Amino acid sequence: MSITEQQTVTTALTLAEVERLRADFPILRERVNGHPLVYLDSGATSQRPTSVMDAERDFAEHRNSAVHRGAHTLAAEATELFENARGTVARLIGARENEVVWTSNATEALNLIAYAFSNASLGRGGADAERFRLTEGDEIVVTEMEHHANLIPWQELAARTGATLRVIGLGDDGTLRMDEAAAIIGERTRLLCFTHISNVLGTINPVEQLVALARSVGALVVLDACQSAPHRPLDVVALDVDFAAFSGHKMLGPTGVGVLYGRAELLDAMPPFLTGGSMITTVTLEKAEFLPAPQRFEAGTQRVSQAIALAAAVDYLSAVGMDRIHDWEAALGQRLVTGLEQIPGVRVLGPASGVDRAGLASFVFDGVHAHDVGQYLDDLGIAIRVGHHCAQPLHRRFGATATTRASAYLYTTPDEVDAFLDGVRGVGTFFGVSTSGAGR
């Protein structure tokens, strides 16, 4: 199903439909500590429907073979499935097949870009790679809400090239200071790297405005789409980003597979990150010539079964409708935040209730460490995330060392959100903490 076809589906998901979808996820029938499992950690890793597990199992049982190498029937069938999977993912995000690179996860995808720029800065890639070379005086711009995977690679790139890393700050409401963005993004900016949706705050960033600022100065744009690709329609061409990264395990797929989108003309000009077999045309003892993208970035034996399973996950999501999934989760996100705001002692990070946000919420419970909150909820069979969520600078900005995060997905029900909220209400009493009122 294409993005256009997805967007023509306007009927909202119903609770009855969600209940039927839940039957496709065997793990949701589990009991934890004597309670029915309430899984609210999909922002970290989503659960998999039977069809996804079946796709990987079927490949292993009937077509397991190396791709792009053997001439025998199994190898040909494996290669066809592998490349068909690439096409499936490309259609989901509005890209061409040669603009989708398989990686192990989004972290690797973002590092791939950073190391390709670093190699170009060392003179690799020739004249075609000139636009990727960074030197002292050049600037890389990120935001204060970035996941470490979209921060540390750029810190390292700046350290290797002499470029300067600059940061767009956040307001108290968890949104970007766009006045700062306009002041920081300037003629020295070569790269603008930002998350589409914060994995902590649930903030949905104004991609169009940020891209316009980058385009006005000729900077390239890298989008962390880990919290958007699984949850809403994503058209990378319409968004006009140069690169985007996301992971399979956050969108009903397996671990071990991620996606890098890049404009074809950029990927073909970038020097490779990993080198070896399967990404070359001619090799002598002195030098090698490389294939065009995407193969030039896919050295070695690929994650074949995982890519095929990810395509099955994309088929599942597309059949439900990405716009319908987005609407369902947005409502759950509002239910989460509204409920948390009413609990004494709880401080929610990010946009307030009534403001457009993703289907997740992170909070601090005054006087109780996030890990203790998580353990208490786990005893009730409620799985949530605790810690700094790979976003220490963001937590530091809001005066927190750790938060508790609940995140919903298409299989989450309002009753599960309410069970979570009931559990949070019991935290203060259980730990003997007196609370004077709710707050943000």
Q: Give residue 6's pLDDT.
A: 40
Give phi and psi for 155, each to the nearest 5.
-60, -45
Q: How far is CA 232 from CA 113, 345, 352, 400, in A?
A: 24, 32, 20, 29
Q: Give residue 1's pLDDT.
A: 34
Q: Measure the CA–CA gap between 237 and 268, rounded to whole angstroms.
A: 17
Selected from 3.30.450.20, 1.10.1040.50, 3.90.1150.10, 3.40.640.10, the CATH number assigned to the domain covering 3-47+321-431 reads 3.90.1150.10
Residue 172, C-beta contacts closer than 8 angstroms, at least 6 positions apart: none
Sign of the C-alpha dihedral computed for residues 185, 213, 245 and 355 taken in this order:
positive
pTM: predicted TM-score of the whole model, two decimal places:
0.94
- The 3 state secondary structure assigned to the chain is CCHHHHHCCCCCCCHHHHHHHHCCCHHHHCEECCEECEECECCCCCCCCHHHHHHHHHHHHHCCCCCCCCCCHHHHHHHHHHHHHHHHHHHHHCCCHHHEEEECCHHHHHHHHHHHHHHHHCCCCHHHHHHHCCCCCCEEEEECCCCHHHCHHHHHHHHHHCCEEEEECECCCCCECHHHHHHHCCCCEEEEEEECECCCCCCECCHHHHHHHHHHCCCEEEEECCCCCCCCCCCHHHHCCCEEEEEHHHCCCCCCCEEEEECHHHHHHCCCCCCCCCCEEEECCCCEEECCCCHHHCCCCCCHHHHHHHHHHHHHHHHHCHHHHHHHHHHHHHHHHHHHHCCCCEEEECCCCCCCCCCEEEEEECCECHHHHHHHHHHCCEECEEECCCCHHHHHHCCCCCEEEEECCCCCCHHHHHHHHHHHHCHHHHHCCCCCCCEC
Q: Enumerate the β-bridge partners of residue 282.
A: 289
Q: Give residue 387's pLDDT.
A: 97
Which two tokens mark 313? 């996950």
Which two tokens mark 117? 């720029």
Q: How far is CA 359 from CA 3, 184, 227, 327, 408, in A?
A: 21, 30, 10, 9, 5
Architecture of the domain defined by 55-318 = 3-Layer(aba) Sandwich (3.40)
pLDDT of the chain along its 440 residues, tens only? 333 344 444 588 999 999 999 999 999 999 999 999 999 999 999 999 999 999 999 999 999 999 988 789 999 999 999 999 999 999 999 999 999 999 999 999 999 999 999 999 988 988 889 999 999 999 999 999 999 999 999 999 999 999 999 999 999 999 999 999 999 999 999 999 999 999 999 999 999 999 999 999 999 999 999 999 999 999 999 999 999 999 999 999 999 999 999 999 999 999 998 999 999 999 999 999 999 999 999 999 999 999 999 999 999 999 999 999 999 999 999 999 999 999 999 999 999 999 999 999 999 999 999 999 999 999 999 999 999 999 999 999 999 999 999 999 999 999 999 999 999 999 999 998 866 554 54
Residue 4, C-beta contacts closer than 8 angstroms, at least 6 positions apart: none
Whole-angstrom Cα Rg for the chain = 22
Do 211 and 236 touch, CB atoms closer than 8 A? no
Helices 106-121 & 152-161 angle (0-180, nearest 10): 10
Do 170 and 176 touch, CB atoms closer than 8 A? yes
- Which positions are catalytic? 390
By CB atoms closer than 10 A (0-12, 13-18, 19+), residue 226 is buried
Q: Measure the CA–CA gap between 398 and 114, rounded to whole angstroms.
A: 28
Residue 223 Cα to chain centre, angstroms: 9
Tell how strand 243-247 and strand 220-224 pair up: parallel
Q: Give residue 12's pLDDT.
A: 84
Q: Give residue 16's pLDDT.
A: 97
Cis peptide before 294 (omega within 30 of 0): yes
Q: How many residues does the chain have?
A: 440
Q: Taking the domains of the chain in order of start, what are their residue ranges? A: 3-47+321-431, 55-318
Q: Measure the CA–CA gap between 218 and 230, rounded to whole angstroms.
A: 29
Q: How far is CA 434 from CA 345, 346, 365, 429, in A?
A: 8, 12, 11, 8
CA angle 154, 156, 158 (to 5 degrees): 70
